[in-house]
Homo-oligomer: A and B are copies of this chain.
Amino acid sequence: MTPPSPRILIVGGVAAGMSAASRARRLNPDAHVTVFDRGEYVSYGACGLPYVLGGDVPRFGEEGWDALVARTPGQMRARGVGVRLRHEVTGIDAGAGTLSVLDRDAGRTLTEPYDRLLLATGVSALRPDWAQTELGGVHVLRDIPDAQAIEASLKGARRAAVVGGGYIGIELTEALRSRGLSVVLLEQAPEIAGRALDTAYRRRVREELERGGVDVRCGVSVEGLTGKAGRVTGVQTSDGLVRADLVIVAVGIRPNVELARAAGVRLGKTGAVAVNTRQETNVAGIYAAGDNTEAVHRVTRRRVHVPLGLSANRMGRVAGVNMAGGDATFPGIVGTAIFKCFGLGAARTGLTQAEADALGLKALSVDVESTDHAGYYKGAQPIHVRLTGEVGTGRLLGAQLVGSPGSVKRVDVVAALLGQRADVEALFAADLAYAPPFSGVWDVLLVAADQLRREL
């Protein structure tokens, strides 16, 4: 039972943590809700960081990062949520129901009792051995201080190397080009965009980067850095030396689970925190939400670790409701993601063909090229769609779209149907909107569904 005036403590104040805090306090105004964050910024849109760097965000305030802040600590406090910045939670005593919290400014450790505890500790950027350096100009990007450090390194920088061609690497590459740098994008795998897209679709993204003046090198591994006078000067790779006065390390992330593990909270096979649909961990009173936490994939019914903004916010809300004594469940994800790359948008949902194959599903994909709106209407741009379904059952498994940025959000149609475990026929039967400025009479999704249903 939740006490009438529970003490709700939250570790981490970005997407999941702040969503939970707001929701808990709204549901139960008697709850004592406090958020601890080891940093200086809370409640901001981390997904916007590359765009601030790229100049796509009109800036407010001296530092310019305020634009990303959804609510200031003052605004949270006005809503009855305590916010303690520069407070690092160093330990959990689950038996006693207390946290050890290091006040970094005062240099002392507090003991804070809780009735409900949320671990919203997020992820950290991986730093391979070669990136463990004192050299200036080498950065990862996870939070506002990281972005501020990149901004500082941009002054006078002319050549950048971005290591890692995932979403963040791609977004940062575009940002650095927008700032006038020459950019080499280094990717260890044979193609960029990681496991996000099947090969042919990754290649389109790569071509767009190249059209944007980026030197994309795939199949290249990084062996070390070179430096001079404390500043990075290049990246040593299997393909030779790449000169760079700014290096971004975007090779992946890992969930921040040290606190959880030490408290006896069970981790899943993915390495992230395991929870039930109420965001409860195996330890009574301890919840987890956000990028550090697993989710159920509604297509495969497996537990996955896909840290993305909407899921983090949604998990946080669910945790907040439940910690405050309500009852909410997280529906799971279907693996939807979207990113922009210069004049191209790319989106995916469900499973790629490669992912379905790896799971042993009998999957089939069709590829369709069409235009984002009626071919005869001005400005029509190509759009490429891969639709994947299950042989035998006819079930929809996933979609990938690459096209003009304005056209690829139609991935949401497939995402919504995946949540219903709908079949390809259901997509084909959908009464989608048509007028020449918006789509062809047969939207490209319908064209793909028609072809796939006949081949399944």
A residues engaging B (CB < 8 A)?
A: 15, 45, 47-48, 51, 56-58, 67-68, 167, 298, 308-311, 313, 331-340, 345, 347, 349, 374, 376-378, 405-406, 408-413, 415-420, 422, 426-427, 429-439, 441-443, 445-446
Contact = CB atoms under 8 A, between A and B. Distances in A.
A324 to B, nearest CB: 15
Given A45-B376, A48-B374, A51-B436, A431 B334 contact: yes
A56 B430 contact: no
B48 A433 contact: no
Copy number in the complex reads 2
A45 B371 CA distance: 15
B434 A47 contact: yes
A361 to B, nearest CB: 19
Contacts of A426: 416, 419-420
A315 to B, nearest CB: 12
Given A331-B429, A432-B310, A443 B48 contact: no
Contacts of A437: 51, 56, 340, 345, 405
A310 B58 contact: no
Contacts of A406: 406
Given A310-B431, A338-B438, A433-B337, A412 B443 contact: yes
B412 A419 contact: no
A347 B311 CA distance: 28
A48 B411 contact: no
Contacts of A340: 435, 437-438
15 contacts: A47-B434, A48-B374, A58-B376, A308-B434, A310-B432, A310-B442, A310-B446, A313-B442, A331-B429, A331-B431, A334-B431, A338-B433, A405-B438, A412-B412, A412-B445
Contact of A434 (B310, B374, B429, B442): B310
Contact of A412 (B374, B408, B432): B432
Given A378-B57, A409-B410, A435-B340, A441 B67 contact: no
B416 A45 contact: no
The 8 closest A-B CB pairs, nearest first, are A331-B429, A338-B433, A406-B406, A67-B376, A416-B430, A334-B431, A340-B437, A336-B431
Contacts of A419: 426, 429-431
Contacts of A310: 431-432, 434, 441-442, 446
B416 A376 contact: no
A419 B416 CA distance: 11
Contact of A336 (B67, B336, B433): B433
A56 B337 CA distance: 33
Contacts of A422: 420
Contacts of A45: 374, 376, 436, 441
A432 B311 CA distance: 10
A433 B416 contact: no
Contacts of A377: 48, 51, 56-57
Given A56-B378, A419-B426, A422-B420, A412 B433 contact: yes
A445 to B, nearest CB: 8
A434 B438 CA distance: 21
A431 B47 contact: no
Contact of A68 (B376, B410, B439): B376
Nearest to A430: B416
Contact of A435 (B47, B67, B432, B433): B47
Contacts of A47: 374, 434-436, 441
Contacts of A311: 431
